[in-house]
Amino acid sequence: MSTQAAAAVETKTPLLKSRLGSFLAVVPLSIWVVNHLWDNLSAFNGADAWQKSVTTYANPFSQVFTFIIVLLPLLMHTGWGLVRLFSFRPNNARYNNYGNLKYILQRITAVGVLAFLGAHIWLAFLYPRLVLGHPEAFDDIAREMHHHVPTLVVYLLGTLGTSYHLANGLQGFAMGWGLLSSERSMRKFEPVVIILFLVLTAMSWAVIYALYTAGAAFSPVGATPP
């Protein structure tokens, strides 16, 4: 077996794992994030519209479908990402360039996004259904967003990190799958990444603004009603 062939065999499995990890990150999760943000924009139309768009499932199989399409790939991508996170060594001090800055920001935001999505999925999806026996109420999330500053800050930063991680991850996906094979093609694709990041951030913060505004009509938890 030649040296080139041996090297190809040695790198085949890591390459497949890397492509599988990027596929699970970009394809199902990106579609879900965009759809989830779009549904949440119904907060501008009031509580009933939000409950119907965000928390109502047509049938029980929809929840199973959500688990298979969203949560399962998210768990697999998280495991794949943690392995990469603990194996990479930043060299920004030696190579201080734009590409390296984006790379380390991708790793930093990965940690923040993991914490944010973990808390969001538990508090907004699993806990209300499994413990309280009902979906999250619009009144609760709107009240928290308006009257609890840590919640507002966490959502602002969490959605900002998610938007960056997803937009930049799209470029990594295109590189890993050979869609961007040259430095010139990566430079031409950069505006797409920036626009996607801005659009996702704008959608996220619009949802937060709608919930924050609606929350003004509710008293803080524990407050004496007028």
pLDDT digits (tens, 9 = 90+) for 164-195: 988 988 887 887 777 777 778 888 888 999 99
* Tokens at 215, concatenated: 């929350």
Place of tokens 């003004």: 216
Burial of 66 (0-12, 13-18, 19+ CB in 10 A): middle
C-alpha pair distances (Å), 181 with each of 83, 162, 172? 25, 26, 11
Question: For 127-158, how does the pLDDT look when each residue is reduced to its tens digit (9 = 90+)?
Answer: 998 898 888 999 999 999 999 999 999 999 99
Confidence of residue 87 (pLDDT cuts 50, 70, 90): low
Whole-model pTM: value is 0.79
H-only helix segments in 71-148: 72-87, 98-121, 127, 138-147
Say how many C-beta atoms besides its own lie within 10 A of residue 204's C-beta.
22
Contact 118, 163 (CB under 8 A): no
What is the rounded CA–CA span in Å between residue 160 and residue 120? 14
d(CA 49, CA 156): 23
